[in-house]
């Protein structure tokens, strides 16, 4: 069992006047064996949450639990491994890829076993073990990202956090890396927090989707339900931005026409999040368009159901056929 749980987690940067809360009271569970996709625009706090999970960023509040226990980020193998957007940040360009992967194999493994493990991991990520002597600079971006995945898996992690791992790749390569993630997840059953600003990428691998806006989770539920029946106006806007898909078309028809006041709205300032619902200054169902909906300016909506939406004016979600809630 490997369940990662963020329990009321906050992360603040800076001090006093320039302080900003990048992650604000986030509760989110990555169930055992599930891939939770975390989406949201740049600056919403996704990377901060990821870095907190691997101990790179200290918490200002709340707890992060692995199988119910606080994670220990001391020496020794890290139970939560992270793969970054730029594999150069995790791969030393002076080391061969075999050495980089071997370094992450748990201590106490003999050298012959370590070599075998490196070959096994390279095969697992669909790279030729004969290339173990190559340096990262000799590989393509997609191949480097495969090595970064192999290195993360070498530590036999309970959970992998993947932060924008396809964002720097050519579109043609993104699909092969996503296929690999899907296959690895199916074969190894590793729990995963998969982060991307791109909903089209997340929906390809995730069993659940959580949507983040200005440090808060505004919608979370089973992937197919969030995609087919998005409840939060921000999720609908994200979906409408996905090029040519059935989901985008339905999201667009729900949101269209974009009211002029919404189109002209300024992006939010993360240093001064709006009171009430954080999305209200940009929201097509909020007080910009419906002045009587004062509650959006004054009261923060909460989300606490299985397909949960933090919006005062979200319709009740349709039950999924064949599922019990």
When asked if residue 44 is in the footprint of ligand ATP (CB under 6 A), the reply is: yes
Region binding ligand ATP by CB under 6 A among candidate stretches 41-49, 100-108, 147-155, 177-185: 41-49
Centroid of chain to Cα 245: 21
State the DSSP code for 57. S
CB of 148 to ligand ATP, least distance (A): 17
- Out of 4, 9, 22, 201, which residue is the one contacting ligand ATP (CB under 6 A)? 22
When asked if residue 220 is in the footprint of ligand ATP (CB under 6 A), the reply is: no
- Out of 144, 197, 220, 280, which residue is the one contacting ligand ATP (CB under 6 A)? 197
Nearer to ligand ATP, 118 or 197 (CB): 197
When asked if residue 88 is in the footprint of ligand ATP (CB under 6 A), the reply is: no
- Out of 5, 7, 13, 254, which residue is the one contacting ligand ATP (CB under 6 A)? 13
When asked if residue 58 is in the footprint of ligand ATP (CB under 6 A), the reply is: no
User: Is the bond into 203 cis (omega within 30 degrees of 0)?
Assistant: no
| Measured distance CA(123)–CA(183) in Å, rounded | 13
- Out of 43, 79, 222, 276, which residue is the one contacting ligand ATP (CB under 6 A)? 43
Positive/negative CA dihedral, 285, 290, 291, 295? negative
Nearer to ligand ATP, 45 or 287 (CB): 45
When asked if residue 198 is in the footprint of ligand ATP (CB under 6 A), the reply is: no
When asked if residue 21 is in the footprint of ligand ATP (CB under 6 A), the reply is: no
| Measured distance CA(141)–CA(147) in Å, rounded | 10
Range list of H helices, the chain: 46-53, 97-104, 111-124, 141-154, 171-188, 199-205, 223-228, 233-240, 246-255, 260-263, 295-298
When asked if residue 284 is in the footprint of ligand ATP (CB under 6 A), the reply is: no
- Kindly report the length of the chain: 325
């Amino acid at each position: 069992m490997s369940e990662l749980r963020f329990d009321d987690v906050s992360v603040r940067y800076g001090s006093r006047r320039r302080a900003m809360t990048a992650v604000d009271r986030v509760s989110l569970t990555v169930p055992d064996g599930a891939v939770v996709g975390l989406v949201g625009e740049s600056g919403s706090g996704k990377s901060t949450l990821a870095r907190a999970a691997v101990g790179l960023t200290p918490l200002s509040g709340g707890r992060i639990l692995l199988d119910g226990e606080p994670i220990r980020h001391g020496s020794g193998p890290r139970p939560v491994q992270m793969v970054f957007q730029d594999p150069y940040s995790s791969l030393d360009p002076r080391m061969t890829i075999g050495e980089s992967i071997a370094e992450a194999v748990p201590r106490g493994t003999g050298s012959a076993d370590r070599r075998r493990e490196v070959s096994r991991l390279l095969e697992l990520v669909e790279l030729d073990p004969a290339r173990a002597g190559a340096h990262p600079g000799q590989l393509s971006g997609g191949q480097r990202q495969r090595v970064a995945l192999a290195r993360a898996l070498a530590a036999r992690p309970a959970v992998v956090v993947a932060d924008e791992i396809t964002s720097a790749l050519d579109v043609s390569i993104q699909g092969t890396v996503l296929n690999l993630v899907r296959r690895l997840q199916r074969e190894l059953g590793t729990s995963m927090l998969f982060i991307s600003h791109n909903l089209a990428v997340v929906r390809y691998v995730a069993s659940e989707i959580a949507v983040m806006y200005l440090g808060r989770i505004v919608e979370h539920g089973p992937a197919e339900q969030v995609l087919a029946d998005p409840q939060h106006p921000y999720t609908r806007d994200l979906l409408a931005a996905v090029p040519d898909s059935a989901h985008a078309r339905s999201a667009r028809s729900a949101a269209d026409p974009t009211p002029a006041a919404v189109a002209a709205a300024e992006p939010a300032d993360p240093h001064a999040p709006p009171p009430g619902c954080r999305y209200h200054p940009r929201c097509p169902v909020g007080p910009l368009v419906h002045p009587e909906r004062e509650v959006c300016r004054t009261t923060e909506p909460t989300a606490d159901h299985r397909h949960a939406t933090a919006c005062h004016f979200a319709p009740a979600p349709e039950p999924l056929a064949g599922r019990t809630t």
